[in-house]
Amino acid sequence: DGGITQSPKYLFRKEGQNVTLSCEQNLNHDAMYWYRQDPGQGLRLIYYSQIVNDFQKGDIAEGYSVSREKKESFPLTVTSAQKNPTAFYLCASSIYAGMETQYFGPGTRLLVL
Amino acid sequence: SQQGEEDPQALSIQEGENATMNCSYKTSINNLQWYRQNSGRGLVHLILIRSNEREKHSGRLRVTLDTSKKSSSLLITASRAADTASYFCATDLGGGSQGNLIFGKGTKLSVKP
C-alpha cells in the first residue's frame, strides 16, 4: 500500500520543548516538502529536499529544522525558537523536484500546552 | 510570498448545482494545479493545466486558464455532498523555483444535500 504517512496525528508541545514530526513515504520519490497551514490559510513552505542528504529553506524556515538521511524519511523538528508553533503541518513528496504533482500526507496538528 | 488568490473565500450551494471557483495569480507560471482538502486532512491533487493549455476536463471537473488575465477557474458540475471541501490553486513558477508550488488561501465549498 503505497503512500505518505505522518505521525503523530496530534502532538502537544510544552513551552521550551523541541518536538519532531515524522514523515515517511514508500513512493520512491526523490523530493519531499514540509508545509505549515494556519486556520483559513493556504500552505506555506517550511523546508524542502530535492535529494537525500540535501535540503533547502522555504519561506518560513525560522524555528524549524529538518534532516534527510534516508530517501523515504524527512522528519521536521519544531524547536523552542518557534514562538508560534500551533498549526497543521503537512508533508508532501514528488517524484523529483520540478515534477509538478505533489502527494500529501494526512497531516499532524501541533498544539501548545 | 502570496501568488494565487482564490475567489470566493466561501461558497455554499445545493446538491446538483454547479460550483465555480476562481484563482488569480501575479507572475508568469509554468503550470497551475488545483487541490482539494477535506477538513483536517491532507491535500489531494485534482488537475494540472499547463501554461500553453486553455481548458482541461477530468470527470465532473473543468479547469480553464487565461494567461493574459493571469486567472484560472475550476468548475465542478452536478455537485454532491461529498464535494464539500476546501479547494486550493497552486502555481508552479518553473525556472529557478525548483518546482516549488505556491498555494492560495483556498475556497471553502459547502454542498448541502
pLDDT at A106 over 90: yes
Grid cell of B41 as nine digits: 486532512
The rounded Cα B91 to chain-centroid distance in angstroms is 10
| Closest listed residue to residue A11, CA positions, set A87, A98, A71, A104 | A87
CB-CB under 8 Å, B105 with A56:
no
* Burial letters A1-22, b for 16+ CB under 10 A, else e: eeebebeeeebebeeeeebebb
Per CB-CB distance under 8 Å, the chain A contacts of B41 are 106-107
What confidence tens digit (pLDDT) does each residue in A27-46 have?
999 999 999 999 888 899 99
CB-CB under 8 Å, B42 with A105:
yes
* Inter-chain CB pairs, A–B, below 8 Å: 65
Grid cell of B8 as nine digits: 470566493
Concatenating the DSSP letter of every residue in B50-98 gives ETT-SEEEETTEEEEEETTTTEEEEEE-S--GGG-EEEEEEEE--GGGT
B7 band by pLDDT with thresholds 50, 70 and 90: confident
